[in-house]
A and B are shown apart, each in its own frame.
Chain A
Amino acid sequence: MLFFSYFKDLVGQEVTVELKNDLAIRGTLHSVDQYLNIKLENTRVVDQDKYPHMLSVRNCFIRGSVVRYVQLPPDGVDVDLLHDAARREARGG
């Protein structure tokens, strides 16, 4: 639940989602669910030359399981809050 809650708080902010097939999509986080499926809006593919077929895609749903990384906005990370949440999560199992 830790990261579900974290991403819910991040809704509205700009993130870059990197997929396991190396495609990287930047956009505004619209919503997230318990599987960490992600909906992005105002999307643009980071390497447009390599993926020209994605040029007209403006929003998308990303299945959580295909995500490798999410690059987070620096001001969207409250380090102390995360530490506490992680310790609580470790205790609760």
Chain B
Amino acid sequence: MSGEEDATVREPLDLIRLSLDERIYVKLRSDRELRGKLHAFDQHLNMILGDVEEVITTVEIDDETYEEIVRTTKRTIQFLFVRGDGVILVSPPLRTA
């Protein structure tokens, strides 16, 4: 347990640990997505992100044509605490792609 920055992924949370101070993508419940720099996290996936961009996707049905209208709303937040229970997926920056 002495290695300062052990780069191996032995358990899933290692993937998050290795993303500290990097920009990550977070997929949340209720069709929300975040992109921001990971400053802190815990085992619940509570997180503090910096320079966050939030994208909310909504689908409306057109009254007349019944077509689906997909809308995205964007906003930016400087520092954000995110409660872990809303997290679905976390993806580190594309280092393997």
Which residues of A does B touch, CB under 8 Å?
Answer: 2-3, 6, 20, 36, 64-65, 67-74, 76-77, 79, 82-83, 85-87, 89-91, 93
CB pair A71–B80 under 8 Å, yes or no, is yes
State A69–B79 Cα separation when bound (angstroms).
10
Q: In which size bucket is the chain B interface?
A: 20 to 34
State A67–B1 Cα separation when bound (angstroms).
34
Which residues of B does A touch, CB under 8 Å?
Answer: 1, 13, 16-17, 20-21, 28, 30, 39-43, 46, 48, 50, 77-83, 85-86
Closest to B54 in A: A69
State A86–B49 Cα separation when bound (angstroms).
12
Give chain B nearest CB distance to A25 CB in angstroms: 14
B17, B40, B83, B85: the one contacting A85 at CB < 8 Å is: B40
